[in-house]
Amino acid sequence: PQSMTPQALAEAQRIARAVTDDLGGRGIFGVELFIKGDTVYFSEVSPRPHDTGMVTMLSQDLSEFALHLRAILGLPIPVIRQTGPTASHVILVDGNSDAPTFSSVEAALVEPDTLLRLFGKPEVRGHRRMGVALAKGATIDEARAKATRAANAVVPGL
């Protein structure tokens, strides 16, 4: 979750709605924005579920993937039940490899209510998102800290 003022949240929602309404279509759109104070800047849109939304795999009873499928198929979207404070932290890899690997995965999963999703991308050239750690906590700050520890515990091999 991104902490922001009510004004920034309203502007972010307005921009995301304008972009997706103009595109048309069905499904989940990942609208990436940059927030500075109350100012909101549009960055990009992905017409599909996105790794930044994978937090929904732990934060609610219907993930972004389930919602995307329902929307594409024209199925009803029920009330979504949130399960508590949840956060994600990206797993980044720097370097070059045609066969990246990961170790210390077990160390990343020591804490309860923590999940890893490693993307299985076949190569790294420079700086690349290769996975995400998800964590639930009693508070957002606790969930963020757990997700960060889990992501940092994973050791990429090149």
**pLDDT by residue (tens digit) across 58-113?**
999 999 999 999 999 999 999 999 999 999 999 999 999 999 999 999 999 998 99
Cα distance between the two ends of the chain: 31
Share of the chain above pLDDT 90, in %: 85
Q: What is the dihedral of CA 140, 58, 128, 19, to 10 degrees?
A: -80
Helix (H) / strand (E) containing 97: strand 86-97
Q: From edge to edge, which strands make up the β-sheet containing 124-136?
A: 86-97, 124-136, 114-118
Res 111: pLDDT: 86
Which one-letter DSSP state was computed for residue 26?
S
Res 104: pLDDT: 94
At a CB cut-off of 8 Å and minimum separation 6, what does 63 contact? 54, 56, 57
Share of the chain above pLDDT 70, in %: 99
Res 1: pLDDT: 60
Both tokens of 63, joined, read 């993930």
Closest alpha carbon to 102 in 51, 50, 135, 151: 151
